[in-house]
Amino acid sequence: RKEVEQDPGPFNVPEGATVAFNCTYSNSASQSFFWYRQDCRKEPKLLMSVYSSGNEDGRFTAQLNRASQYISLLIRDSKLSDSATYLCVAGARAGTALIFGKGTTLSVSS
């Protein structure tokens, strides 16, 4: 059972493009949602939390659709430095482990 599913990609986009990633989660009891970024051979780093009302951080916008159980990440004006793997994460009640998706790979080229 894949609890958090993502399209592995890769997504290959030119600089300045807008790109969107989606992920779905299977546990309807999930309450906490995040996007992490992982560079090659590095540890995951928290990119942003995902709130029910949607949230934006600079060029990054995250949205949550509880009815359809999916989470999205929109990156505007892509930079070369955005090239990485983006991990979608969902968690149920406090005291339980977060579940990580396998990630979507983004490659931004000049």
Partner 1 sequence: GAGVSQSPSNKVTEKGKDVELRCDPISGHTALYWYRQSLGQGLEFLIYFQGNSAPDKSGLPSDRFSAERTGGSVSTLTIQRTQQEDSAVYLCASSFAGTREQYFGPGTRLTVT
Which positions touch partner 1 (CB under 8 A)? 32, 34, 42-46, 49, 87, 91, 94-103
Q: Nearest distance from residue 61's CB to partner 1, in Å? A: 18
Longest dimension (CA), the chain: 44
Q: Nearest distance from residue 80's CB to partner 1, in Å? A: 23
Which residue number, 45 or 59, has a Cβ lying nearer to partner 1? 45
Which residue number, 23 or 75, has a Cβ lying nearer to partner 1? 23
String of DSSP letters for 38-69? E-TTS--EEEEE--TT-EEETTEEEEEETTTT
Q: Would you give the DSSP letter of residue 81? A: G
Contact 32, 93 (CB under 8 A): no
Which residue number, 44 or 78, has a Cβ lying nearer to partner 1? 44
